[in-house]
Structure 1
Amino acid sequence: MCGRMTMTHPNDAMARLFEAAPSNDLPPVPRYNICPTHPVAVVTAGQGGRRLRPMRWGFVPQWYKTPTDGPLLINARAETIAEKPAFRAAVRARRCLVPATGFYEWTKDDAGNRLPWYFVPKDRAPLVFAGIWQDWTKGDQPMTTVAIVTTGASDWMSATHHREPVRLAPTDWARWLGETGEKAAPLMQPAPEGYYDRWRVDARVNSNRAEGAVLVEPLAA
């Protein structure tokens, strides 16, 4: 699963990394507690080339009469994405890259308290998730929305959570975006063992109003 993430890399650096034209209304960075319904910068591809553009995190199917007409779809399961009515058209034609710096997952202690963990690539390179997107046009304010694709966790990740976001290597970006004509389904795999570092962080990140670099600092023993 992926329910919270961070983005601290500058938008102009991300645009250069992906060779994408940046929109003028990208969300400001750094951000240490990106939550569902927040805007995120997403890379799409089309006839005009790649774009780095903002989208609302939380996929809204076209048949929703309002953005809250059904469950908040922040993730799409790789195992069923091609069959689910909400996602099947998007995974064929509207795949995207969701850049991040890291993400959070939670465990629980014996008393049921939620204990947050922060995950980052060991090399601290930008993290890129597989995403799908959808324009929603039913309301007075149309929006473009995105979900992050998840898969079953690796053995290492499963100590924290049974799901993990699909991470894409740089060599896979063009394929996921549909630029190579190759099937993208084989890319929906857990990250290689040893790819991530993780550490406990303070429970203040449990609040969706919390922000700041202190949220990702390792918890003192």
Structure 2
Amino acid sequence: MATVDTTEWVRDFAALVDEHAEELTALDAAIGDADHGANMRRGMAAAVAALDDSAPATAAETAKRTAMVLIRTIGGASGPLFGTFFLRFAAAIDSGSDIGDFARAFRAGLEGVIARGKAEPGDKTMVDALGPAAAALDKAVAGGADAAAALAAAAAAADAGRDATTPLVARKGRASYLGERSAGHQDPGATSAALLVRAARSALR
């Protein structure tokens, strides 16, 4: 039964981050510290190196190792938030082998991000991409969709959530310091989170 290869997910996410690093930095320059792309690139490269060093035996081990590297190497809020996502994912995926297991673990990751960052939908954060993706996954799985269809729906929902951050006024993170001036800019965290979901789709095995 097809599901996401977690190691390939991390690798594909790292490749997408590397490809879009300049875009992420440009988005962050408008409403943040202008370092999101560089930080994410460094963290994901370190995560891939850690997986190359010794291959994890399980999806949970892959996610946990990735989490610890991201927490240690990515500066600002992104390291703890992406790290928490993967930690919660690791705890929930256990020995799961189908798209339903992945969807449950993905939602656990989202809930960890919400708990850690205290963000809600509409706050102009990565939650605005991860939340719709989790909802789309849950709906697809409940409707009996296969893994490919469920992940396609999740990726489309994450992209739509990312795009919807542009007109919002930030209520969390450094962008919130700008108040109304944060409106009109796509959120960099939501953008990298959408890449995470896109990578899950490409890592389907």
Same fold (TM over 0.5): no
**What's the TM-score once normalised by structure 1's chain length?**
0.32
Task: Identify the structure with the greater strand proportion.
Answer: 1
Larger Rg: 1
**What's the TM-score once normalised by structure 2's chain length?**
0.34
Q: More relative contact order in 1 or in 2 (CA 8 Å, sep 6+)?
A: 2
Task: Identify the structure with the greater helix proportion.
Answer: 2
